[in-house]
Amino acid sequence: MLDVTMQHERYGFIDSVRGLILVLMALDHTSVFWNRGRVAWEGLPVFREGVLMFNYPVIVSLAQHMTRFVTHICAPGFIFLAGMMIAFSSMRRDRDDIGRKVFSDFLLRRGIFFVFLEVTLIQLIWGYNLFLYPPPGEESFLVIGFGIISLFGFLFIILSFLRRMPTLPLLAFSMLVLVGYWVLFPSLALWTYETQSNLLLGIAPIVYLPIEFGTHSITTGIYPIIPWISVVIFGLLYGRLLCGLRKSGRMGDLKKYTFGVGFCLLILFSVHEYVMDARFSKYPPSIGFLSLTLGVILLLLGIFQLLEEKGISLRIFQTYGRVPFFLYIIHLFLYSLIPSLTGTYAGFSLLTTYLVWLCGLVILYFPCRWYYDFKQGHRNSFFKYI
């Protein structure tokens, strides 16, 4: 999601794909604050009366299901693209020891800043639905929430150390983490809950186990570092591929790799879901979930690259995609404001939700366009972190 700004050039088709993802993210978050029939928590492990269960939403209506389903590409797409942008910046800045250190320090500081922002400002919006107004039926209690922004922070911190690893060891590491995680996950989740260790339950949602909001544990979160670190590494490796092709003057070949790997991932999803009959889960992301969503992301990258080559303008999406973190913050304030002040959290129809979403996108377009121009003139200021 987060853009490590390239000072000398931008890949417009990547900004466009990120912008599309942000538009879909805005739909999902509008649904959180406005839609009384929202479907969510796909696959989230829940521990009840000594039994570990997995929360699978019941499909009440096709419209509600599809509203949620199309937004599944958001989290993996943001994380994958963040890995790509780190690869671009690494290739440009790692020309000497000073450049390498400066960029690693930047990633480290930005990661710390994101974690801090998550547990302060963004926690107020998600944990208490803005202005410390809890959703109806929920009591106020102190909890530290770790979400997608803190995940980016932790991933940036880790990649500030790992980003220069050779490609093959990095690929092997990411595959081992992803596959090994799902081999161990059921036993690991059950063991974590059964130990009833406050320390372990405090660390788990940050590192490896999504824990539902409202459990009254000291920490909650649905985006643990493992297995999401594999996704950002996949993005980093894809970014290296793009840089290598561009350096050799073979950018046209990128579409072949993009479409080829994208279709292979969709085939893997089909095998995983319909042949192996494996569990489809977002919290945490299953291999089938990641195969489907990353396959779609790669196909979108290929399609948008083709459109760009044909001169088809995608400036609307690019406007959103160039300032992802800025948009993330202001869109949460915008869409949560009225429900928070009026106490009508998730109290409207799906049609109203879509209308609010579209109106919000129009409003958000102008500050996003302004902020990109502003940031271009303040590259070395604090705003480089946002």
Domain that holds residue 349: 12-385
Measured distance CA(253)–CA(246) in Å, rounded: 9
**Nearest C-alpha neighbor of 214 from the set 330, 129, 285:** 129
Per the structure, the count of domains in the chain is: 1
Residue 2 within any structural domain of the chain: no
Where residue 214 falls among pLDDT bands split at 50, 70, 90? low
Instruction: Report which of residues 221 and 53 the model is more confident about.
Output: 221
Higher pLDDT, 94 or 118: 118
Residue 376 placed within a domain: yes
In a domain, 3, yes or no: no
- Provide φ and ψ at 88, rounded to 5°: -60, -50
Which position has the token pair 């958000």?
Answer: 364
Task: Judge whether 42 lies within some domain.
Answer: yes
166 within some domain: yes
pLDDT at 307 over 50: yes
Q: What is the average per-residue pLDDT within 172-183?
A: 95
Is residue 304 domain-resident?
yes
DSSP codes, 348-359: B-HHHHHHHHHH
Structural domain includes residue 199: yes
Q: Is residue 1 part of a domain?
A: no
Region 238-261: mean pLDDT is: 89
DSSP 8-state symbol, 196: -
Position 7 confidence tier, pLDDT thresholds 50, 70, 90: very low
Q: What percent of the chain has pLDDT over 70?
A: 90
pTM score, whole prediction: 0.91
Q: Quick one: average pLDDT of 221-242? A: 95
Q: How many Å apart are CA 286 and CA 75, to the nearest integer?
A: 13
For residues 256-268, b (16+ Cβ closer than 10 Å) or e, as one string? eebbebbeebbeb
Averaged pLDDT for residues 219-239: 94
Lowest mean pLDDT among 56-60, 238-242, 375-379: 56-60
CA–CA separation, 354 vs 219, rounded Å? 32
